[in-house]
Structure 1
Amino acid sequence: MVPTDGLSNPRTQVSPLRSALASQAKLWPEIRVELGGLESGWITAEAFFASDTMIEEYLDYEGSFSEGTDRKACGSLMMTDYAYVFALATVPAFLGFGILPDLSPSRFALLFHVTQDEHDGHMREVRRAHVRYLSGGFRASRTDHTAHPDARGPMAHDQIADAFCTAVQAHFEPLIEQLHARTKLSRNAFWRLVADALAGWFIEAGRRLDCQEAAKASAMAVLKRPGSPLNNRQLHYFDLSVRDRAGQPFSYTFRGRGGCCRFYTVEGGEYCSTCVLKDPRQRDDDLRQAMRRHLGLAGDEIA
């Protein structure tokens, strides 16, 4: 029998998934996303989600940076960090290449590490992970990709968006059940954080791949499926504009969050720039000021 897992098969035809991940690595080198086997140091998402020790250690880690961080905040911060990794690993290949890998927790491996990250102007230590797909199988929307024996498709855009939504739900459900039981934060709150992470990476990938409008449409197709726990009315995109030194309009697209990471509840914490709890008018004023600073303008130089 000829193997078709895309890993041990000595075929000369390059997997479109492998090619997509190689292209993705050039734009997002901070998190490695690759095909391979389960080597020492790596753990499947399935094993991670089922490990009481690892989940508790992760929650304790999230609570170690600020006094008074309660369990709900620990859980939401943990989900925010993990969903960031997942979204970066999955969204660029989906948006840029129409490729959806096997996201089953048993075939999604992680290599955890700690690094520094900027969050709303503040540097903080965060837990990240490199990702390894243990299966070479993938779904594809492009006809030229479906010639590869590991591919399923071609799928229409709505079909592959639905498949992505379903795969996200299946991946995160066991983790959400774990965190809900341990922190008592609602399941809905966790689902909103997952949706926020994916929406954020759709628009970021759209910027880097020069397809922002397609990115917004794809994000909504994935995240606004009727009946999905990812679907909430608060999550959206919005545009703001200011004028630069030459008087020309400068516009930027933001993600309006549907969830809250609860960073505001810790000592020294505050609302994130696009927090769902902020008054939209204050949020927009703050963001316009940030845009002016980005352009090198003082707050009072432009009305």
Structure 2
Amino acid sequence: MIAVSSVRSGGPGLFPASPAVVAAAVADVSAAGGYFGLELGPVSHEREPGWRPLGDLLTDPGTVEARIADMAGRLGTGETRVAASILFQGLAARFWSPCLGAAVAHDLLVDLAPRHVYWRAEAGGPLPLRTAYLEGWRVRDPARITGPLYRTVVTGLLEPLAETVRRVVPTAPGLLWGNAASALVGTFLELGRGRPALAARAVALGRELLDTGLLRGTGELAEPAPGHHFFTRRSCCLFYRLPGGGMCGDCVLVDPGTRRERWARAAGESGR
């Protein structure tokens, strides 16, 4: 069951933003490209078939099973557990990106209410998302945005998705929430690389989210050199089980000595 986001009735320090303000913020964040994109506009099933309510992707086992099968085919694996893991991590990144981007860049909380958001299957790349109605909330005190942002993305989107994935394919909860944390880190580091002026703020908000609810204890964010961050998770996404797959940079299975060498090399290449 999809939880009703608490931001829709406002909350401490949250005030409704005008549609124009929301649209401008979303357009700016979408310009970051890739997973940050969010289309604003009506969905016409006659002119553009294929759009489906986001709620189907989060809670319908048949839809999720089909997406896992599609992912398995694209990855070339017969292990549905691996495909389910990679699918969940990709969707987590997709949901984090526009929400985190708006929060960091514009002090705006956007509410991806599943009943208003549509998705469409594509052969590759980030999942297309479109909505004709998007509520946004101005944040008077940015220090208080962590809780509402967590409830918007984790409680409202990822928890129901995780429940459905686990109904379709037996998957360890720790694996899925490690994936959600890894996707979050990838999102705020990507935002900082694209917009260096926002990097420190993105990392600070990311750290707070990593210490919240189901994300707490999923991994550790290290800073071996100033401004140079690395995440080490406490679970494995199973990517190494794919044909030609290896260990991800944040994988718990990486030898500590190898990890330190990677950190030193990366820090040296950055001149720090």
Q: Please, what TM-score do these two structures have when normalized by structure 2?
A: 0.80
Q: CA deviation at 1:78?
A: 0.7
Q: Which residue of 2 aligns with 1:194?
A: 180
Q: CA deviation at 1:22?
A: 1.6
Q: CA deviation at 1:18?
A: 0.7
Question: 1:225-244 maps to which residues of 2 (within 5 A)?
Answer: 225=212, 228-240=213-225
Q: Which residue of 1 aligns with 2:158?
A: 172
Structure 1 distance, partners of 2:222, 2:40, is: 32
Q: Which residue of 1 aligns with 2:66?
A: 57
Q: Which residue of 2 aligns with 1:282?
A: 258
Higher strand residue share: 1
Structure 1 distance, partners of 2:96, 2:119, is: 13
Q: RMSD between aligned alpha carbons?
A: 2.7
Amino acid at match of 1:229: L
Q: Which residue of 2 aligns with 1:70?
A: 79
Structure 1 distance, partners of 2:93, 2:108, is: 19
Structure 2 distance, partners of 1:55, 1:233, is: 24
Question: 1:124-163 maps to which residues of 2 (within 5 A)?
Answer: 127-141=125-139, 154=140, 156-163=141-148
Q: Is the 8 A contact 1:69 1:265 kept in 2?
A: no
Q: Which residue of 2 aligns with 1:123?
A: none
Residue 18 of structure 1 pairs with residue 3 of structure 2: no
Q: SS at the partner of 2:145?
A: helix
Amino acid at match of 2:220: L
Structure 2 distance, partners of 1:69, 1:166, is: 34
Amino acid at match of 2:54: A
Q: Is the 8 A contact 1:110 1:130 kept in 2?
A: yes
Q: CA deviation at 1:163?
A: 0.4
Structure 2 distance, partners of 1:206, 1:48, is: 29
Moved more, 25-34 or 83-92: 25-34
Moved more, 176-185 or 14-23: 14-23
Q: Is the 8 A contact 1:33 1:132 kept in 2?
A: yes
Q: CA deviation at 1:165?
A: 0.7
Alpha-carbon spacing, 1:48–1:21, altered in 2? closer, same or farther (3 Å): same
* Structure number with larger C-alpha Rg: 1
Amino acid at match of 2:217: N
Q: Which runs of 5+ in 2 are unaligned?
A: 1-7, 9-17
Amino acid at match of 1:196: S
Higher helix residue share: 2
Question: 1:93-108 maps to which residues of 2 (within 5 A)?
Answer: 93-108=102-117
Q: CA deviation at 1:65?
A: 4.3
Q: CA deviation at 1:104?
A: 2.4
Q: Please, what TM-score do these two structures have when normalized by structure 1?
A: 0.72
Identity %: 21
Give CA deviations for 1:118-142 in whole Å, capped at 9, x if unaligned: xxxxxxxxx521222343311221x
